[in-house]
Amino acid sequence: MVASGHTPLPPYRLETIFRTNVQSALNAGRYRQMMENVSRRPYWQYIAVGDGRTRPSHAAHDGEVYRADDPFWDHWFPPNDYNCRCTVRALSQEEVRSRGLDVETTAPGDYSEFNVPRFDANPAAVKWQADLERLSPEARAVVQGLGRCTTPEQAAERLTRLTDGVVASGSPATVAPISLQAADLPNNNRGQADYFNGAITLRPDVYQVIERSLADGTASAEDLNAFFTLTHEYGHQVGLPVLKSVADVPGNKALIEAVNELWARNATGMVMETLGVRYQPRELTQWIDQRSYPSWTDGLRQVLGAAGLSNAEQYQFVADLNHNRDPGEFSDMIWKLLKKRGVTGEGNFGEVLLSEKKIAALLGELNHSPSR
């Protein structure tokens, strides 16, 4: 979409803009969740990735703990620069004490060292509004048209725009238009996705909940399961396709589903907000935590937790798998992570997830690993 006289942005620039905006949205959602729980977890810890791409200024704050109401977060709640991957972990007073962490305090009136140009505010505390006068007529029409979706057809169009943005950023996703439809499914499944034609098929009762919530513009606690199903199936439309040769390998299906389910745990709110459906963040958080998951999903979550990953870090890990990795590489990526925690292994990790004994043995190794 390029108006006359406007130069299209190069792919690397589009990717930077897309990734930074996604991180801003995710961290804004994370901020709202932590504020909902701030009375129980009043301390926040800054977490930098710590690899070769981490900025020194961000690495310098890695592990620092401040109270949630400290002015530090007015300037240093991530993202703090383009492509920033930093996150924040919420901690209870007992967790701070048991881990021997020191609580920092920002010097009153002097926050200049935290002031990063262009990223010197908490994205969750700033309500963005487009400067329509600076946009091309085509872009202005798009922004003005981003109201809430009131029908499944409009929701499908909005989800198509999301996948178009993923592709424009350089990440893989289906290039077929997303469509939503209702139909009875084998084994009474709630949803099914077809990567190659963009179709998301929902069981009729699930589709009806989505349809009603879109019309009303709001979702009750009873409606959240339907949007989780929609998000889960949409998760199969981003990233690379699952080839039959991969899906037919024993254990791979369980692993792929576990990764996508963990992604959907964190992305459901984002999808609902994208569609313009109002919901109560506290209700969604409680529902997500209390929901019953397949054993392989719980197993993967336990393993990642035992490996020392916070909920936010788990989401980043599975989002990278879901969005950017070939499903055939999932096992290698997980074993690579566990090796850093002092646990070695190889082969299909999905087969581990299908065995309670193997999961228990792996958790035992991780819990006793000196690298944990």
pLDDT digits (tens, 9 = 90+) for 294-331: 999 999 999 999 999 887 788 889 988 988 888 989 99
CATH of the domain at 262: 1.10.390
Distance CA 232, CA 293 (A): 12
Q: In this predicted structure, which of 1-10, 255-264, 293-302, 338-347 has the lowest mean pLDDT?
A: 1-10
pLDDT at 253: 92
Q: What is the spatial distance between Cα 122 and Cα 97, in angstroms, rounded to a whole number?
A: 27
State the Cα–Cα distance between residues 25 and 12, nearest whole angstrom.
20
Reported as a single tens digit per residue, the pLDDT across 115-170 is: 455 566 666 665 545 455 555 555 555 455 556 789 999 999 989 988 887 776 66
Sheet holding 179-182, edge to edge: 179-182, 199-202, 191-194
* Cα–Cα distance, 164 to 262 (Å, whole number): 23
CA neighbor of 234 nearest in space, from 323, 325, 294, 329: 323
> Nearest CA to 298 among 233, 266, 334, 254?
254
Same domain, 200 and 85: no
Question: Residues 28, 124: contact at Cβ < 8 Å?
Answer: yes
Q: What is the DSSP string of 121-150?
A: S-GGGS-----GGGS-HHHHHHHHT-----
What pLDDT shows up at residue 205?
97
Asked if residue 338 is part of any domain, the answer here is yes
Confidence of residue 353 (pLDDT cuts 50, 70, 90): very high
| Same domain, yes or no: 191 and 336 | yes
Domain annotation covers residue 155: yes
Please indicate, yes or no, if residue 104 is contained in any of the structural domains: no
Do 95 and 151 have their domain in common? no
Q: The domain containing residue 216 runs over which residues? A: 147-368
125 domain-assigned: no
Can you give the pLDDT at residue 107?
56
Rounded Cα distance, 250 and 58, in Å: 42
Judge whether 190 and 201 are in contact, CB under 8 Å: no
Classify residue 292: in a domain, yes or no.
Answer: yes
CA nearest to 149, candidates 18, 280, 278, 236: 278
pLDDT band of 1, cuts 50, 70, 90: very low
Q: How far is CA 362 from the centre of its chain?
A: 26
- Claim to verify: residue 174 and residue 303 sit in the same structural domain: yes
Buried b / exposed e along 297-309 (16+ C-beta atoms within 10 A):
bbbbbebbebbeb
* Last residue of one domain, picked from the residues 82, 99, 116: 99
Query: Count of domains in the chain?
Result: 2
Q: Is residue 120 part of a domain?
A: no
Residues 82 and 164 in one domain: no
Q: Which of 205, 231, 207 is nearest to 288 (CA)?
A: 231
Q: Say if residue 242 is in the same domain as residue 170.
A: yes
> Residue 316: helix, strand or coil by DSSP?
helix
Task: Please give the Cα distance from 172 to 239 (Å, whole number).
Answer: 5
What pLDDT shows up at residue 354? 95
pLDDT higher than threshold 60 for residue 105: yes
Report the Cα 323 to chain-centroid distance in Å: 10
How far apart (Å, rounded) are the C-alpha atoms in residues 118 and 149?
32
First-to-final CA distance of the chain = 49
Q: State yes or no: cis peptide before 79, omega within 30 of 0.
A: yes
Cα-to-chain-centroid distance, residue 13: 22
- For 148: left if phi > 0, alpha if psi spans -120 to 50, otherwise beta; the answer is beta
C-alpha–C-alpha distance, residues 201 and 184, integer Å = 9
Residue 103 three-state SS: strand
Beta carbons of 186 and 158 less than 8 angstroms apart: no
> Which residue in the block uniquely carries the two structure tokens 């190794």?
365
The per-residue pLDDT for 15 is 53
* Domain presence at residue 106: no
Is 333 within the bounds of a domain? yes
